[in-house]
Amino acid sequence: MSGARKVYIKSFGCQMNVYDSHRMADTLAPEGFAETTTPEDADLVILNTCHIREKAAEKVYSELGRVRLIKQAAAREGRRVTVAVAGCVAQAEGAEIIRRAPSVDLVVGPQSYHRLPTLLARATRGERPIDTEFPVEDKFDVLAAPSREATRRRGVSAFVTVQEGCDKFCTFCVVPYTRGAETSRPVAKIVTEAERLADAGVREITLIGQNVNAYHGEGPDGRAWTLGRLLHRIAEVPGIARLRYMTSHPGDMEDSLIAAHGDLPALMPYLHLPVQSGSDRILAAMNRRHTRADYLDVIARVRTAQPAIVFSSDFIVGFPGETEDDFAATLSLVDEVGYAGAYSFKYSARPGTPAAEMTDQIPDDVKAERLARLQHAIERHQADFNARCRGRTFDVLFEKPGRHPGQIVGRSPYLQAVQVMAEAALIGDVEPVTITEVSANSLFGTLARPAPARAPLLMQAGG
Ligand code: SF4
């Protein structure tokens, strides 16, 4: 057999895609593929694409232009490079990708990754397979498990997909079309995956799904479990110190999930809860199925359960028909909640979604001006929150070496990066840190107690 083949996977977009990219790499490992971070070295290049952002498909085509040059250079050296397009753009564009980008050898949608080895074999035979089906078999049953080595290389914090797809049909969103209807993985399979990750040194698990709090997977008792119940079960896995979950819909914040925020010390006091707009008129046009008051009620209930909680959110500005009054309602919501951070974007039409057909589209300069005002407000609240962290002591999960010698970097409970001068042996540990300095993107601190003596944990590759 020739030496190990190499696969380069470029992930665009959300955590779901990062997770899917890992699972693709795991599935290709038994086929003799080792991961590389250098596309020029690769025998297989996979672009794992995202359809959420503006001009997503165009960005993929321009990236494919760069990949084509790599493929041509390899061919001049007598080396064949296979090019695959995966993810939501693959799902949405299908055969169009092969038509527009002749360098692409195969197209695979998000529900068919487990078929990659078969698709690759077909591509090797000169076919150009396209698989954008929603297969009846569960891809999670077929996908290979990550090796211990792969898990260690990926670090002490891991994602686990527990739910896919969405039934909400917000009028701006492609997810219900690209990822299909809501499905939840059974509890037992998620627990097994969490145990395997913990065994390989993972300390923090983020349960992910397009609409994760709609989770309703089958429990060991044969009944549908809520996300709250699932979190309780994962918290029992030895070695798992921290839990998070994303992305949630405000309408699916059910009681057991809200209670978990108070009951589970492992569940971090940071909740990403997208609202998109502060205006009821726009929320209705978005088909969000909740009002501003409903959203604020959820926030209040989570705060009652866990007074230390902080929130982040997603916002869309310039949705069709958005007036200055609607936008002012969004700004006032930002002030009312006082987010610790948030993502905000200009509305951009996604072909095939109802909002793309709405006639009252907002001019780009108006959107840009509103976005700048919104981002200014969000940054102000984020800076306030970070400033209030100065002098506080909280637990930090150390993840990797820092940029400077002798420094290591971890995450606060609120997902802020925290830089500390300390031994690399602490990577993988949760230690109390007193915050001494705050900058725009990082906190700086000192260990609040002497580091425990221990043998180094061989967790991170490289520096
Ligand atoms: S709930 Fe989220 S994923 Fe589902 S349609 Fe709305 S924005 Fe898209």
Alpha helices in 310-399 (DSSP H): 324-337, 364-389
Q: Which residues pair with 395 in a beta bridge?
A: 432
* pTM of the predicted model as reported, rounded to 2 decimal places: 0.83
Q: How far is the CA of 315 from the centre of ligand 1 (A)?
A: 12
pLDDT at residue 138 above 70?
A: no
Index of the ligand 1 atom closest to the CA of residue 210: 3
Looking at residue 2, what is its pLDDT? Answer: 46
Looking at residue 135, what is its pLDDT? Answer: 67
Question: CB neighbours (10 Å) of residue 340?
Answer: 23
Contacts of 240 (CB under 8 A, 6+ apart): 194, 197, 198, 202, 203, 204, 205, 234, 266
Looking at residue 56, what is its pLDDT? Answer: 73
Q: How far is the CA of 21 from the centre of ligand 1 (A)?
A: 22
- Average pLDDT of the residues in 64-84: 94
> Could you tell me the pLDDT band of residue 60, with boundaries at 50, 70 and 90?
confident
Nearest protein Cα to ligand 1, atom 1: 168
Q: Which range among 150-164, 203-217, 357-371 shows the weakest confidence by mean pLDDT? A: 150-164
Nearest protein Cα to ligand 1, atom 8: 173
- 25-47: per-residue pLDDT in tens? 988 988 899 999 999 999 999 99
Q: Cα–Cα distance between 427 and 406 in angstroms, integer? A: 12
Q: Which range among 60-64, 133-137, 330-334, 432-436 shows the weakest confidence by mean pLDDT? A: 133-137
Q: How far is the CA of 185 from the centre of ligand 1 (A)?
A: 19
Q: Which residues pair with 315 in a beta bridge?
A: 276, 344
Nearest to 214 by CA among 249, 265, 187, 180: 249
- Tell me the best of 50, 211, 247 to mutate to test the pocket of ligand 1, counting ligand atoms within 8 Å of each CB and taking the most: 211
Looking at residue 137, what is its pLDDT? Answer: 60
pLDDT at residue 463 above 50?
A: no
Q: How far is the CA of 125 from the centre of ligand 1 (A)?
A: 39
Looking at residue 270, what is its pLDDT? Answer: 97
pLDDT at residue 113 above 90?
A: no
> Could you tell me the pLDDT band of residue 452, with boundaries at 50, 70 and 90?
low
- Tell me the best of 173, 183, 290, 295 to mutate to test the pocket of ligand 1, counting ligand atoms within 8 Å of each CB and taking the most: 173
Q: How far is the CA of 173 from the centre of ligand 1 (A)?
A: 6
- Tell me the best of 179, 210, 288, 353 to mutate to test the pocket of ligand 1, counting ligand atoms within 8 Å of each CB and taking the most: 210
Q: How far is the CA of 210 from the centre of ligand 1 (A)?
A: 7
pLDDT at residue 454 above 60?
A: no
Q: How far is the CA of 249 from the centre of ligand 1 (A)?
A: 8
Q: How far is the CA of 175 from the centre of ligand 1 (A)?
A: 6
How high is the mean pLDDT of the chain? Answer: 90
pLDDT at residue 134 above 80?
A: no
Q: Which range among 137-151, 227-241, 280-294, 298-312 shows the weakest confidence by mean pLDDT? A: 137-151
pLDDT at residue 460 above 50?
A: no
Index of the ligand 1 atom closest to the CA of residue 169: 5
Q: Cα–Cα distance between 289 and 280 in angstroms, integer? A: 10
The verdict on whether omega for the bond into residue 247 sits within 30 degrees of 0, i.e. cis, is yes
Q: Which residues line ligand 1 (CB under 6 A)?
A: 166, 168-170, 173, 175-176, 210-211, 249
- Average pLDDT of the residues in 283-305: 98
